[in-house]
Structure 1
Amino acid sequence: MAEAGYYNYAVDEIRSREFPSLKDLTYVDHAGATLYSTSQLTSFQQDLCGNVYGNPHSGSAASKLTADTVDHVRFR
């Protein structure tokens, strides 16, 4: 591994923290499916555990949350 401060060190650190499943692998199929990072999965899981999402075209509170979330992502 390269010394601290060099590009490869930073990449190696991020890769080991965010993509532990890639240990000893080279993944090149990003056109087919880009991999998700550990922090993305953690954030998504926390969101799903703390919220109930519904059909954004209905009138329930869960549906409004979905519509609001989609709008927030779309217009940020």
Structure 2
Amino acid sequence: GPVYPTTTKAVPDPVVGTTLLKKVLDFSRLPVVAIGGIFPENIAAVIDAGARNPCLVRYFMEPPDPAEVERRIACVQRMLA
């Protein structure tokens, strides 16, 4: 389910939060993608939970200007470096 509340889906699954995300990451032997309501304001908590594959769908899809999308991608890449 989504880590945080999301409006990307009409009927989203229940929010799991970072505590359950961490539990999944601790026992999973497969790559886990953290998705749902992730933005620059809360990505640090997702990374602190152990996520290595955060997905920021709405954050990257919001701007109609491709240059703004590129700027946002570069910003998040710096945050993850």
Which structure: greater strand fraction? 2
Which structure: greater helix fraction? 1
When normalised by structure 1's length, the TM-score is 0.32
When normalised by structure 2's length, the TM-score is 0.31
Structure with higher RCO (Cα < 8 A, 6+ apart) = 2
Bigger radius of gyration, 1 or 2?
1
